[in-house]
Chains A and B, each alone.
Chain A
Amino acid sequence: QQQVKQSPQSLIVQKGGISIINCAYENTAFDYFPWYQQFPGKGPALLIAIRPDVSEKKEGRFTISFNKSAKQFSLHIMDSQPGDSATYFCAASKGGGADGLTFGKGTHLIIQP
């Protein structure tokens, strides 16, 4: 049973464009929603995270939008750059992350110069 569904599987965006990745979750007990970025040969690293008491969080070019009623959240990358090319994972957890994260299957993002 997949508790966090992520789409699309892959995404190609032109440099300067907006990259959008979507996730949906099922468990209403989830209270922590991070996005992780992974480069080839490396482990995932935290990019940005949100808790359900806010609907949006922005850090630089990266924004999480959160819709609690729809049980959906998304990552927006503004002014996408070739260096943003990576695999992005959404995740969710109960207890603020203490019990480990349930990850989506990932989105392979390519930013074309």
Chain B
Amino acid sequence: DAGVIQSPRHEVTEMGQEVTLRCKPISGHNSLFWYRQTMMRGLELLIYFNNNVPIDDSGMPEDRFSAKMPNASFSTLKIQPSEPRDSAVYFCASSLQGWTGELFFGEGSRLTVL
């Protein structure tokens, strides 16, 4: 079975540009999480969805960040406009709510904003 699929794996962009990160969760999973990883702050939960509905976006840094989940098999995290401090690895994870609680992570999207 395919795991969580993220794209792009690497993105280099200039400050002010729009960045869109994409995630395909594991088929059948009904919860999806976006995390950001940096050396200074570790793994931070940005937002999560249950059954395609955003439940908690309190971790989203500011209005420049937005996330959508139009259907059960696709989610996006958008940053507009991007800033150098947004440089990080962004992970998407999915789980089957009510089961073991295990999160299955993708391989991440490494974002560099110049």
Contact = CB atoms under 8 A, between A and B. Distances in A.
A45 B44 CA distance: 16
Nearest to B46: A100
B40 to A, nearest CB: 9
B101 A34 contact: yes
A59 interface: no
Interface string B58-98: 00000000000000000000000000000000010101011
In this complex, the member of A32, A34, A93, A100 whose beta carbon has the largest number of chain B beta carbons within 10 angstroms is: A100
A43 B93 contact: yes
B108 interface: yes
Contacts of B42: 89, 103-106
B95 A102 contact: no
Contacts of A96: 98, 101
Q: Is the interface of B mostly helix, strand, loop or mixed?
A: strand
Interface residues of A, number: 22
Interface in B9-63: 31, 33, 41-45, 48, 50, 55-56
Contacts of B98: 96, 98
B86 to A, nearest CB: 19
A78 interface: no
B34 to A, nearest CB: 10
Given A98-B97, A99-B48, A89 B43 contact: yes
A101 B103 contact: yes
21 contacts: A32-B101, A34-B101, A42-B107, A42-B108, A43-B4, A43-B93, A43-B107, A44-B43, A44-B91, A49-B100, A89-B43, A96-B101, A97-B101, A98-B98, A99-B56, A101-B45, A102-B45, A105-B41, A105-B42, A106-B42, A106-B43
Interface of B: 4, 31, 33, 41-45, 48, 50, 55-56, 91, 93, 95, 97-98, 100-108
